[in-house]
């Protein structure tokens, strides 16, 4: 058996999704004439209480468009130290937009509004860089799928308003946060000036993200999307996959969370230092191998021989991500392989 737990980006469209894609009405999206894209943008914007949205081929581009609307060249964006915008978008904020970033550290990426607000420096005058916006990632990828507390988001919004700062939500996995916390999407949306959401992770679409904001910001973002080479044509087929994902797969995310808990508990039973199931909020399980005599790369190679694929994201940190292509038999097989590998590692310690 082969079980791919490297990421929820490895999901493939189902037969039913492909069928919906095949008969989607299409048009030229650069001209604004693709009805399926237009309807998806309107639908997702309304879900979050925003005026408008623009479809993008990647979550990174949706993030970059969002922060570009809030921060000008030479100004500062704040984000958590291990956030995707800072660590996994290859310096795009600096390269594309001339944006400088500064970070605050947080255990598991968990948001405390005071952490971010304490380092913000708006209106710093002609000699120091001025903070213009704060980015929040929910759920937090490298933090292990952490769901950000709504109370902290509310406190951050209040403090940001008092300081004249804008807020961006990197909501690549906001769907998981929504399902796990039962927080309405519109409740998340109302605290942020720009929002990015992804359709190609847990929702299982083959490609696609959206940036949501005001009509004015989205009009500007469309220009920058084209400038970055991401103006697209008859992409209604991709948007149709997004509609199907929202109709069918959003409600299935709780199974991913359940399966992640199962994997975490099996690993914890072998070595309690590796993972605390109480810290597994959604579909991501981070394995801390710092107390074991094996690197993350070595551990990934060990389980790969049994057909289980995981990501080594640091010398001693491995990541498992459940998704809709992992059913219960695959989950149980992966748990057996992971538990056996941990047991063998402890025996050799």
CB within 8 Å of 136: residues ≥ 6 apart: 79, 80, 111, 116, 148, 153, 156, 167, 168, 169, 170, 192
* pTM for the full predicted model: 0.96
Residue 347 — very low, low, confident or very high, per pLDDT cuts 50/70/90?
Answer: confident
In the chain, the domains with their CATH numbers are 3-7+252-347 (3.90.1150.10), 15-249 (3.40.640.10)
Tokens linked to 320? 């498992």
Instruction: For 216-275, write each residue's pLDDT tens digit.
Output: 999 999 999 999 999 999 999 999 999 999 999 999 999 999 999 999 999 999 999 999
Task: Please say whether the beta carbons of 171 and 147 come within 8 A.
Answer: no
Residue 349 has pLDDT above 70, yes or no: no
What's the rounded Cα separation, in Å, for the pair 20 and 243? 9
| % the chain with pLDDT above 70 | 99
Helix (H) / strand (E) containing 198: strand 194-198
Q: Give the 3-state secondary structure of residue 210.
A: strand
Q: Say yes or no to pLDDT of 283 above 70.
A: yes
pLDDT value for 46: 98
Supply the pLDDT for residue 346.
82
Q: Assess contact for 177 and 138: CB atoms under 8 A.
A: yes
Whether the per-residue pLDDT at 334 is higher than 90: the answer is: yes
Residue with the two structure tokens 């948007």 = 239
What is the Cα–Cα distance from 217 to 234, expressed in whole angstroms?
Answer: 23
Output helix, strand, coil percentages for the chain, rounded to the nearest 5: 45, 15, 35
Q: How many CB atoms lie within 10 A of CB 57?
A: 17
């Amino acid at each position: 058996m082969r079980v791919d737990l490297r990421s929820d980006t490895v999901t493939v469209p189902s037969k039913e999704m492909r069928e919906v894609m095949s008969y989607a009405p299409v048009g030229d999206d650069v001209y604004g004439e693709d009805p399926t894209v237009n309807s998806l943008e309107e639908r997702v914007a309304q879900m979050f209480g925003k005026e408008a949205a623009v479809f993008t081929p990647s979550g990174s581009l949706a993030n970059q468009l969002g922060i570009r609307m809030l921060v000008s060249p030479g100004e500062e964006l704040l984000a958590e130290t291990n956030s995707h915008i800072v660590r996994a978008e290859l310096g795009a904020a600096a390269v594309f937009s001339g944006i400088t970033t500064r970070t605050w550290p947080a255990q598991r990426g968990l948001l405390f509004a005071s952490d971010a607000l304490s380092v913000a420096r708006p209106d710093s005058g002609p000699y120091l860089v001025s903070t213009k916006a704060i980015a929040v990632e929910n759920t937090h990828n490298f933090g292990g799928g952490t769901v950000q507390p709504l109370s902290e988001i509310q406190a951050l919004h209040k403090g940001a308003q008092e300081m004249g700062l804008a807020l961006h939500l990197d909501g690549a996995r906001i769907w998981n946060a929504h399902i796990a916390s039962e927080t309405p999407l519109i409740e998340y949306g109302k605290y942020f000036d720009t929002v990015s959401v992804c359709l190609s992770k847990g929702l299982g679409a083959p490609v696609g993200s959206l940036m949501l904001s005001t009509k004015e910001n989205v009009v500007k973002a469309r220009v920058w999307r084209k400038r970055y080479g991401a103006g697209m044509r008859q992409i209604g087929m991709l948007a149709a996959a997004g509609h199907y994902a929202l109709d069918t797969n959003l409600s299935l995310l709780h199974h991913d969370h359940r399966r992640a808990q199962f994997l975490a508990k099996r690993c914890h039973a072998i070595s309690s230092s590796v993972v605390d199931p109480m810290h597994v909020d959604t579909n991501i399980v981070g394995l801390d191998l710092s107390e074991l005599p094996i690197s993350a790369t070595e551990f990934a190679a060990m389980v790969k021989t049994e057909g289980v694929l995981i990501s080594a994201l640091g010398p001693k940190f491995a990541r498992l991500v459940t998704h809709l292509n992992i059913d219960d038999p695959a989950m149980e097989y992966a748990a057996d392989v992971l538990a056996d590998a941990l047991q063998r590692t402890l025996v050799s310690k």
